[in-house]
Amino acid sequence: MDANLRIRSFWDDLRSSLWFRPGVTTLLAVTLAFVATGVDRNGVYPSGYDLSPDNARSILSTIAGSMLSVVTMTFSIIMVVLVLASQQFSPRILRNFIRDQTSQNILSIFIGTFVYCLLVMLRISDNGKDIFVPVWAVLIAIALALISMAALVYFIDHIAKQTRVSYILAEINRQTVSVMHKARKERSRYAASEEETASVPDAPREAVRIYSQRVGYIQAIDFAEIVRLASDADITVQLLRAVGDFVSVHGDFLLAWPADHLPDGLDEKLYALFDIGPERTLMEDQLLGMQQLVDIALKAMSPSVNDPNTAVNCIHYMTNLLIQAAESPDLPMCYKDEEKKIRVICHQSSFEAMVDLAFTQLRHYAAGDMVVIARMLEALYEIALGTTGPARLDVLWRHARLIVRTIAVQEMDALARQRINTIIKRLARQVGQAAENIMLNVHAN
């Protein structure tokens, strides 16, 4: 893997682990223990404190034992939250919980305090001539214990909020918007214009196929480095997979041409510019956040959960993401080098793909709930307000027709049909279509 991509992937994995911050805090606790006892060794004692070795050991052992119990309880709470989140919402949001920095930091405080107390206890000496009680170190341990208790209260409050669906959806929205803006900003330098993209020919038959060497999901792609390699070799590269796609071993991966320009080992260098892992991540995958919201909405509409209000909440945040996407151009389909020659052709997540992902499955599962259906149509209207592109407006209208076709056979009262028709009329005016073609018959059923 490319060095830059390897660093990004490694850092993302560290942020998604429960051991990195506690590990760093443990090293800091070791350092603090030696520094604090070293100060005591130099005879700098605080006035008004006189501790015997037994009292110091008793204090430190009590704190250490308490911290070990708190660490065990904290891990148990985190595991319970992960299980409940997987069952109640979606297994694809577990990474969001593990990445939570507040939980990692609080767990680090507990483990650091435990390690610190153990090390300070080892420095206490009462064997005859050498009696040493690290007063400063014990006082620091007491301070850490007080901080840990405050952290425990804050952790309980935080985990109670974190498991509420509104906070889960808001965090998914925040991360996805960040990924969308970051991806567009990073790739704008090499992006080809729409006119340049329209004139790109298809790959020739003699193009060299490069096959995948690993199985998994594409988590990130270093487009800048692919452009550089293609420019140096004077070739064009077409990506057959995008970020978030699954690739199989020996499956189609890349096309490169002309064949006589490909130097030896170029396929290995190109393959190294893709980060492939066992799961999708929000490092560059814009569609993953939308997929998480859809998963939660589908779970909420299932008979086992039966919580349509949560589905409505999901649609609120899906609407926000689609409005953000509607206000920005799609990710570029082609990238050019400094000489303005197109070097990379790819398939990217587009506005249409996001809309399809948001509404295709949900309209079938929500067909019997007119509140959710009405919210979906209102979402299409709100999204239409944020875009003027004819192609994108056609996508929104296509989904409105599909939604109406799905619910047309459902039994509903005249009032519900009138409400649906009112929303359809507003949407039709916004997208420039004739509402009469899809409006429901108010007197049916």
- pLDDT at residue 3, as a whole number: 63
How, if at all, do strands 246-247 and 216-221 pair? antiparallel
- pLDDT at residue 128, as a whole number: 64
Class in CATH terms, 190-311+328-349: alpha beta
Amino acid at 260: D
Instruction: Record the tokens describing residue 17, joined without a space.
Output: 């682990």
Omega of the bond leading into 390 within 30 degrees of 0 (cis): no
The stretch 12-26 carries a mean pLDDT of 87
Amino acid at 351: F
Note the pLDDT tens digit of each residue in 190-199: 677 766 676 7
The stretch 62-69 carries a mean pLDDT of 94
Note the pLDDT tens digit of each residue in 49-61: 667 888 889 999 9
Band (pLDDT 50/70/90 cuts) for residue 270 is confident
- pLDDT at residue 303, as a whole number: 85
The stretch 79-90 carries a mean pLDDT of 87
CA distances from 61 to 124, 139, 279 (A): 12, 14, 42
Burial 171-195 (b: 16+ CB within 10 A, else e): bbbebbbebbeebbeebeebbbeee
- pLDDT at residue 388, as a whole number: 77
What's the sign of the alpha-carbon dihedral 254, 194, 357, 279? positive
Band (pLDDT 50/70/90 cuts) for residue 445 is low
Strand order across the 246-247 sheet: 246-247, 216-221, 274-277
- pLDDT at residue 10, as a whole number: 80
Q: Where are the domains of the chain?
A: 3-163, 190-311+328-349, 367-445
- Average pLDDT of the residues of the chain: 87
Tell me the three-class secondary structure of the chain, residue by residue. CCHHHHHHHHHHHHHCCCCHHHHHHHHHHHHHHHHHHHHHHCCCCCCCCCCCHHHHHHHHHHHHHHHHHHHHHHHHHHHHHHHHHHHHCCHHHHHHHHCCHHHHHHHHHHHHHHHHHHHHHHHCEEECCEEECCHHHHHHHHHHHHHHHHHHHHHHHHHHHHCCHHHHHHHHHHHHHHHHHHHHHHHCCCECCHHHHHCCCCCCCCCEEEECCCCEEEEEECHHHHHHHHHHHCCEEEECCCCCCEECCCCEEEEEECHHHCCCCHHHHHHCCEEEECCCCCCCCHHHHHHHHHHHHHHHHCCCCCCHHHHHHHHHHHHHHHHHHHCCCCCCCEEECCCCCEEEECCCCCHHHHHHHHHHHHHHHCCCCHHHHHHHHHHHHHHHHCCCCHHHHHHHHHHHHHHHHHHCCCCCCHHHHHHHHHHHHHHHHHHCCCHHHCCCCCCCC
Residue 46 has pLDDT above 80, yes or no: no
What is the spatial distance between Cα 358 and Cα 326, in angstroms, rounded to a whole number? 14
Main-chain phi, psi angles of 211, to 5 degrees: -100, 155
Residue 444 has pLDDT above 60, yes or no: no
Q: What is the pTM of this model?
A: 0.86
- pLDDT at residue 8, as a whole number: 76
